[in-house]
Amino acid sequence: MSKRIDLVDLDIFYGDFLAVEQVTLTVNPRSVTAFIGPSGCGKSSVLRSINRMHELVPGAYVTGEVLLDNEDVYGVDVDPVLVRRTIGMVFQRPNPFPTMSIYDNVVAGLRLSKRRRRSKDLDDVVERSLRSANLWAEVKDRVDRPGAGLSGGQQQRLCIARAIAIEPEVLLMDEPCSALDPISTLAIEDLIHELKDTYTIVIVTHNMQQAARVSSTTAFFNVNAVGEPGRLIEIGETSQIFSNPRVKQTEDYVSGRFG
């Protein structure tokens, strides 16, 4: 489990609008890579193009390559549904299925991919996934209750459990803590630390301290002006990006001079 991602000359379009231009970068397996940058720089678009969620917006498409262990995610005979089963995603706002119990939320993806599992197996998956998401202790007595009854932070961990229940190779996180309070944020960050031993993780964050805390590699994106495409400015080890950036823009951003 866990694969490497290479973006090669990636251009991202919304209709005629070029939103992100010429991104080339590598995400190493079993590590956490953070995408940082000001609003509108295209970091979320890049993230969503990795598991082909981007193309769900009408008129949206990409050119260039997204390679998952050298296999192009946008290849002609690639099924986007399988791409999304392999590359899991956690969203900005916790979005458990409101009509489903905690249990059913966790196994929702499994019920899609492989029908007719024995319920004993499912029970194991639920416990393992909830344990991995550091949620088991809090919900083990009420897994049959609606997932929507949990707190925001618990809901987000439930969404992480749901994403890892189908054992993806990669986990994409789109500002997973921006709707959470500091305590819940800390819980998620601890979780990311544990998950990186198993998964390739890419996290988009507005919070530079968070990037510094959780990631080993940081990519800084920027945009010159509204209406121009976003660009990858610099990527490197997180400690280097924050202490000794090579590019002036990065230094201005991480030192809080703009953004």
Partner 1 sequence: MTAVLSGQAVRPGDRVFSGLSLAAGVLVLVVMAAIAVFLVWKAIPSLTTDSANFFTEQQWLPDRDPPVFGIAVLAFGTVLTSLIAMGIAVPIGFGVALFIAFYGNRRVSTALGFTVDLLAAVPSIIFGLWGLYYFMPRIVPFAEWLSTYLGWIPLFRNDLEIYTKSILMAGVVLAIMILPTVSAISREVFLQVPRAQTEAALALGATRWEMIRMSVFPFSRPGMVSAAMLGLGRALGETIAVALLLSAIFEINWAITEPGGNTFAANIALKWGEAADNGRSALIAAGLVLFLITLAVNMIARWIIARHEEYT
Which is nearer to partner 1, 85 or 128 (by Cβ)? 85
Taking the complex as a whole, the smallest distance from the CB of residue 220 to partner 1 amounts, in Å, to 25
Rounded distance between C-alpha atoms, residue 147 and residue 98, angstroms? 6
Rounded distance between C-alpha atoms, residue 8 and residue 74, angstroms? 12
| Tokens matching residue 196 | 């990186």
Q: What share of the chain is helix, strand, coil (3-state, %, to 5)?
A: 40, 25, 35
198 burial via Cβ count (<10 Å: 0-12, 13-18, 19+)? middle
Q: Please choose, out of 38-46, 87-95, 130-138, 194-202, the segment that lies near partner 1 by the rule CB under 8 A.
A: 87-95
Contact call for residues 103 and 126 (beta carbons, < 8 A): yes
Q: Mark 96-125 with x for binding to partner 1 (rule: CB under 8 A) and - for no binding.
A: xxxxx-------xx--xx------------
| Tokens matching residue 153 | 């932070």
Looking at 8, 18, 122, 148, which residue binds partner 1 (CB under 8 A)?
Answer: 148
Q: Please choose, out of 24-32, 92-100, 227-235, 241-249, the segment that lies near partner 1 by the rule CB under 8 A.
A: 92-100
Taking the complex as a whole, the smallest distance from the CB of residue 49 to partner 1 amounts, in Å, to 13
Contact call for residues 158 and 133 (beta carbons, < 8 A): yes
Q: Please choose, out of 31-39, 80-88, 136-144, 206-214, the segment that lies near partner 1 by the rule CB under 8 A.
A: 80-88
Q: Please choose, out of 1-9, 91-99, 201-209, 249-257, the segment that lies near partner 1 by the rule CB under 8 A.
A: 91-99
Which is nearer to partner 1, 62 or 223 (by Cβ)? 62
Does residue 159 bind partner 1 (CB under 8 A)?
A: yes
Our measurement of the distance from residue 94's CA atom to the centroid of its chain's CA atoms, rounded to an integer in Å, reads 13
Does residue 14 bind partner 1 (CB under 8 A)?
A: no
Which is nearer to partner 1, 150 or 163 (by Cβ)? 163
Q: What is the DSSP string of 124-154?
A: HHHHHHHHHTT-HHHHTT-TTSBGGGS-HHH
Q: Give residues in contact with partner 1 (CB under 8 A).
A: 51, 53, 56, 58-59, 81-82, 84-85, 88-89, 91, 93, 95-100, 108-109, 112-113, 146, 148, 159, 162-163, 166
